[in-house]
Amino acid sequence: MSMSKKNIVLLLLIALCSSYVQSQPRIWNKQSIDNAKTLNPEAVKTLIREADKHLTATIVTVVDKPMTPPSSDKHDYMSIGRYWWPNPDTADGLPYIRKDGVTNPEIDKLDRMPLSKMARSVYTLSLAFYLTKDDKYATKAVENLQIWFVDKKTKMNPNMNFGQTVPGRYDGKGRGEGVLDTYSFVEMLDGVELLKVSKSFKKKDREDLNAWFNAYLDWMLTSEIGKEENDAKNNHGVAFDVQVTRYALFVGKEDIARKFISDFPAKRLFKQIETNGAQPMELARTTAFGYSVYNLTHFIDMSIMAKSLNIDLFNTTSTDGRSITKAIDFLLPFLGKPQTDFPYQQIKDWEKVQKEFCWQLLRVDGLMPKPVYKSLYSKYLPLSGKDNNYLIY
């Protein structure tokens, strides 16, 4: 039976709408970006100035590092554990010892910072392209993506076999914690979504990037290191789920994304959040408020992605009352208070993590039918400013 012209047009419209939805950011607030020129021109100007710097910058790649991983392949990513330091009791400093919350500046020597800088360059250039419609920004963003993920001479292999290594321990192998190093790709891919309307981002570029993330997703789900991070009981496990979900959505494996989202409440939320909202694994750290907010950020990232699939993860509550809002309620009494009022350790950055908490409250209001926390975060966040968060949140 032939299909009527009306039905054909309807199917075409559905297909176009589906394509449009799939090309939207999954973490960022698209409406905020669209309104930025009117509501936050200062932030737009700041972003463009940063993007202009990226136009003439050359990214550092994994093959540029001064060390070669045990695999003898410089294309393998390699980093050192952030809180691991030379042993003062041994002549060669081995094995390294852990100082929680104190960053070893040696992390700058390997691939961690170059990866973050590359992701930020793509993120910034993509936003600049979207806001200005000037394809020069997209062209540079695509060039950086090709250098990091595609070019045979410079690309990163899709694994984290040597992520967050610890000198003198684990036979030089990476640890599950190293998977967290690629969290920068989560927001970077939101930038890539904005590039999809650029003439510079060709079909071959999309296919090559999809192939890389398909391979990396497979590595995360099947490798021993990936399984180790999946088994993590703290923020690392939550971040693992967010990454798997984001990469699965990017490569079109929605079934994997939905599986991780559906398992998330019982697997992560209800096990990591107590009935009073405390996050014990994060409160045990020397930067307890910071890590509680950090893990909350991952919870919110997952909730926003779930919302893009019409799943309400944010309001999911256990039978005994564990929920994301309970985790927020636990932290709220310390907002705007001196560090001495916080009954756990926070050895640094009190004001910084307080502000980060406010940004997360702002994001949460985007998940609500009407603002709930505005009266709180508006005391600490100006209505506009230079911060990129004003664009994406």
Looking at the fold, whether 97 and 32 belong to one and the same domain comes out as no
> Is residue 386 predicted with pLDDT exceeding 90?
no
Q: Is residue 164 classed as helix, strand or coil in its secondary structure?
A: strand
If one counts the domains in the chain, the total is 2
Asked whether the CA dihedral 8, 11, 16, 19 is positive or negative, the reply is negative
Looking at the fold, whether 118 and 189 belong to one and the same domain comes out as yes
* pLDDT value, residue 4: 54
Beta-carbon count within 10 A of 324 CB: 23
Query: Is the residue at 322 inside a domain?
Result: yes
- Tell me which of 231, 249, 273 is where a domain ends: 231
Residue by residue, DSSP assigns 72-89 as S-TTS-EEE-TTEE--TT
Query: Is the residue at 276 inside a domain?
Result: yes
* Angstrom distance (rounded) from CA 389 to CA 380: 14
Report the pLDDT averaged over residues 222-243: 98
Looking at the fold, whether 152 and 292 belong to one and the same domain comes out as no
Looking at the fold, whether 194 and 274 belong to one and the same domain comes out as no
Q: Cβ neighbours of residue 87 under 8 Å, at least 6 residues apart?
A: 93, 94, 95, 96, 97, 168
Asked whether the CA dihedral 162, 164, 169, 170 is positive or negative, the reply is negative
Looking at the fold, whether 187 and 220 belong to one and the same domain comes out as yes
- Tell me which of 213, 231, 249 is where a domain ends: 231
In 3D, which of 52, 101, 11 has the Cα closest to residue 350?
A: 101
> In the chain, what percentage of residues exceed pLDDT 70?
94
- Phi then psi for 302, rounded to 5 degrees? -65, -40
* Angstrom distance (rounded) from CA 321 to CA 327: 11
* Distances from the Cα of 294 to the Cα of 24, 89, 288, angstroms: 24, 33, 10
> Is residue 245 predicted with pLDDT exceeding 60?
yes
**23 — pLDDT class (breaks 50, 70, 90):** low
- Torsion, Cα 162 165 168 173, to 10 degrees, reads -30
* Angstrom distance (rounded) from CA 267 to CA 232: 11
Looking at the fold, whether 164 and 278 belong to one and the same domain comes out as no
* pLDDT value, residue 11: 43
Looking at the fold, whether 80 and 223 belong to one and the same domain comes out as yes
pLDDT in tens, 248-303: 999 999 999 999 999 999 999 999 999 999 999 999 999 999 999 999 999 999 99
Q: What would the two tokens of residue 115 be?
A: 């990866």
Query: Is the residue at 254 inside a domain?
Result: no
- Torsion, Cα 144 146 149 151, to 10 degrees, reads -120
Cβ(249)–Cβ(26) below 8 Å:
yes
pLDDT in tens, 136-151: 999 999 999 999 999 9
HSE of 192 in the Cβ direction (CA atoms, 13 Å)?
30
Query: Is the residue at 309 inside a domain?
Result: yes
Query: Is the residue at 361 inside a domain?
Result: yes
pLDDT in tens, 31-75: 999 999 998 999 999 999 999 999 999 999 999 999 999 999 999
- Tell me which of 215, 231, 247 is where a domain ends: 231
Query: Is the residue at 7 inside a domain?
Result: no
**9 — pLDDT class (breaks 50, 70, 90):** very low
Looking at the fold, whether 169 and 316 belong to one and the same domain comes out as no
CATH of the domain at 324: 1.50.10.100
In 3D, which of 293, 302, 224 has the Cα closest to residue 267?
A: 302
* Letter string b/e over residues 270-309, b meaning 16 or more CB atoms within 10 A of that residue's CB: bebbbeebbbebbbebbbbbbbbbbbbbbbbbbbbbbeee
**197 — pLDDT class (breaks 50, 70, 90):** very high
pLDDT in tens, 345-382: 999 999 999 999 999 999 999 999 999 999 999 999 98
Q: What would the two tokens of residue 93 be?
A: 């400093």
Looking at the fold, whether 216 and 305 belong to one and the same domain comes out as no
Domain that holds residue 301: 12-46+264-393
* Angstrom distance (rounded) from CA 391 to CA 39: 9
Looking at the fold, whether 65 and 187 belong to one and the same domain comes out as yes
Query: Is the residue at 103 inside a domain?
Result: yes
In 3D, which of 106, 211, 108 has the Cα closest to residue 155?
A: 211
Cβ(48)–Cβ(36) below 8 Å:
no
Among 4-13, 179-188, 357-366, 367-376, the minimum mean pLDDT is found in 4-13
* pLDDT value, residue 12: 42
**1 — pLDDT class (breaks 50, 70, 90):** very low
Residues β-bridged to residue 85: 97
* pLDDT value, residue 16: 40
Looking at the fold, whether 176 and 284 belong to one and the same domain comes out as no
- E strands in the chain: 78-80, 84-85, 97-98, 162-165
pLDDT in tens, 96-133: 999 999 999 999 999 999 999 999 999 999 999 999 99
Query: Is the residue at 244 inside a domain?
Result: no
* Residue 248, phi-psi category: left (phi > 0), alpha (psi -120 to 50), beta (remainder): alpha
Looking at the fold, whether 322 and 222 belong to one and the same domain comes out as no
* Angstrom distance (rounded) from CA 372 to CA 377: 10
> Is residue 83 predicted with pLDDT exceeding 90?
yes
Residue type, 63: V
In 3D, which of 159, 144, 150 has the Cα closest to residue 69?
A: 159
